[in-house]
Amino acid sequence: MAKFKDKKIRKIWVEKEEKWYFSVIDIVGALTESISPRKYWNKLSQRLNEEGSESVTKCLQLKLLASDGKKYLTDVADLEVIFRIIQTVPSPNAEPLKLWLARVGYERIEEINDPELSINRAMQTYLKKGYSKDWINQRLKSIEVRKGLTDEWLDRGVKQGYEFAILTDDITKAWSDMTVREFKNKRGLKKQSLRDHMTNMELILTMLAEATTTEISKVKEPDGFEESRDIAKEGGEIAGITRKEIEKKTGKKLIS
């Protein structure tokens, strides 16, 4: 359950997509305080369909637990679609969220014009979450290293999205003996960033693996995704050897 102004919002995690889906009826009910949120949503969805909005067509039907203890198919949507639906609801309760979305959009445009702003905002966000300055510096450096790697992959004809994810898995598996999903499961994470839940040493090993992969790729100049996979494993293995050597010398496991 999620909560909005003490209203319960049902949600479900879809492992295959690595996404949370939220009950549209619960969201609409919380925003409008309607005595019949289902009817309200039916009318709203009809209007959105007539206006040509994609919000309704992007909703799914998944089984959620009802008040009678049974599960029924109900309209659900991911966070992006939920935000679009919120923008169509004429309710005072929706106004703070609409203002926040407008503010986030404005800040995003500012960051495109001046990328340094995004770095400063990231630092402030991490500080507010209680991270130490040393950890934040490592995390920001890891972003720089990652960007260098993804630029190299693009230059070698690797496609963003699925292929990037596989190569990242190859690197992570080679240095940590776990895929990204296995690593996240070990931490009890779902949608959250794995790197935001790494220790300093784990971040350092991740950077070493990715920086090494970048350098090997520049030398070997792989052609496309499959050849890049071999190099990703090589870069990860070098960091993996380093991890094992440190563990051998200290007698402690580096993956917390």
pLDDT, tens digit (0-9, with 9 covering 90-100), for 105-132: 898 898 888 878 888 888 999 999 999 9
CA distances (Å), 249 to each of 133, 253, 254, 255, in order? 28, 10, 11, 15
pTM score of the predicted model:
0.73
CA–CA dist 118, 111 (Å, integer): 5
Average pLDDT, the chain: 91
Per-residue model confidence (pLDDT) at position 132: 93
Identify the band that residue 3 occupies on the pLDDT scale cut at 50, 70 and 90: low
Q: Is the dihedral of CA 126, 132, 137, 138 positive or negative?
A: negative
Kindly tell me if the per-residue pLDDT of 67 is higher than 60. yes
CA–CA dist 23, 241 (Å, integer): 46
> Residue 63: left if φ>0, alpha if ψ -120 to 50, beta else—which one?
beta
Identify the band that residue 1 occupies on the pLDDT scale cut at 50, 70 and 90: low
Instruction: Tell me which amino acid residue 86 is.
Output: I
Give the list of residues 6+ apart from residue 78 with CB closer than 8 angstroms, or none.
Answer: 19, 20, 21, 22
Per-residue model confidence (pLDDT) at position 5: 65
Give 145-199 pLDDT, tens digit per residue: 999 999 999 999 999 999 999 999 999 999 999 999 999 999 999 888 999 999 9
Which residue carries 């939920």 as its tokens?
82
| Own/partner pairs, 176-182, CB within 8 angstroms, 24+ separation | 176/202, 176/205, 176/240, 176/243, 176/255, 177/240, 178/255
Phi, psi of 115 (to 5 degrees): -55, -25
Q: Measured at the alpha carbon of residue 160, what is the angle toward residues 157 and 161, in degrees to the nearest 5? A: 140
Give 72-93 pLDDT, tens digit per residue: 999 999 989 999 998 888 888 8
